[in-house]
Homo-oligomer: A and B are copies of this chain.
């Protein structure tokens, strides 16, 4: 932990314990700096972080004050999921489509949305990069940039891997129509119909749909809401089912928000490597961390070429451009070929625009602002939930991304709640869409990636009433 984080945590604890109360003024930066023997900028950073967490408010020219805290945050979920251990033929699509469809209207409060607000992205700068690159577009680019994709963009992606301490040659990278296509192509490359695939429980519904479409069986593995997939359970499932692949999210998992630490990632890669099982690593949220450094990928620990790492720009830079990629290790050739025969190549203008944007610099600055915005929104969202939600709810506090996972009292039916909320103009993502066996009946995934206003507050209040009624 950095010095300013230590300071911020100490102050946060004082607030939680009631030593500092709503309206209390924090020491001035100069006072705190002298008293704590840290630099003024460390104090500034700590206060800024506390503000982002919603714990303090600044008043112009008068300093920082403890914000109205309302209730303490609801507890976090503590137990890992307990799927049956059997392999499951997947049949979840109908339910998922129903939920997705209902959540798409623009006038819904989008708590069930899978996307952050598009207003968080540097669309004007991207547009300028697009306008300038498309006017300079080499007519022959449409031929040269056939699978595996634009050479400049692949170089930029390889450079970002290098920043994160992973050496991925640009040649290994296949540019795709978003991470979704990358993941699907990787799955095609390592499985055949009838194979069993290890997945998290709960997991992103698109995983289940892909297994369903490819006639694969899901082995759902117990997963902890904070720490991710359970490795001993994974080892057992490997022995029992001889799976052909493992597909999971290492950072800020959708829907839980769980992340594996480095030791766990290393152990995961070693375990799968011993059995020569390829790992499809979905890392689309990795850039959206609230801490100091990007959480690493499992691919960093891969010496056998068994990790197929997939990510995209859709969640962190350019929604709608549909540019993602796979770094598929030893499967790079197969993945490129499947790309060639399914969608040929990725839209050239979008690739050019992103390459130009990345070359011009400013991506890091954008990411810092984005992470800050999401961290602030999470703090505000959790605080609002603390104010409204009835006792008996548990809520995760992920270190990144834009989802929280809510365990409701056992008697609440999330599908019924979804329909009731919908009738009141609020979308939620009910637990059963994240499981092949339609488990997690009393769970919700909620999205805090949109600016919070009166409407959000009102929606959370309404949702809480519905939950309280259902629990009564």
Contact = CB atoms under 8 A, between A and B. Distances in A.
A468 interface: no
Contact of A115 (B135, B141, B143, B340): B143
A118 B106 contact: no
Interface stretch (A223-231, A319-327, A364-372, A396-404): A319-327
Nearest to A193: B193
A59 to B, nearest CB: 32
A292 to B, nearest CB: 30
A269 to B, nearest CB: 27
Contacts of A139: 118-119, 121, 123
Contacts of A193: 193, 215
Contacts of A180: 341-344
Contact of A130 (B104, B130, B145, B323): B130
Contact of A349 (B130, B145, B146, B346): B130
A166 interface: no
A99 to B, nearest CB: 12
A347 interface: yes
B209 A177 contact: no
A363 interface: no
Contacts of A337: 93, 97
Interface string A246-282: 0000000000000000000000000000000000000
Interface residues of A, number: 61
A209 B135 CA distance: 35
A237 interface: no
Interface string A140-160: 111111100000000000000
Nearest to A182: B343
Interface string A188-203: 1000110000000000
A242 interface: no
A137 B145 contact: no
Contacts of A109: none
A80 interface: no
Interface of A: 93, 97, 100, 104, 106, 113, 115, 118-119, 121, 123-124, 126-128, 130-131, 134-135, 137, 139-146, 176-178, 180-181, 184, 188, 192-193, 206, 209-210, 213, 215, 319-323, 337-338, 340-350, 353
11 contacts: A106-B140, A118-B143, A121-B139, A137-B320, A177-B346, A180-B344, A181-B344, A213-B338, A213-B341, A320-B349, A322-B346
Given A119-B139, A213-B342, 12 more contacts: A104-B143, A121-B139, A126-B134, A127-B135, A128-B135, A130-B130, A137-B320, A178-B343, A178-B344, A184-B343, A320-B347, A322-B345
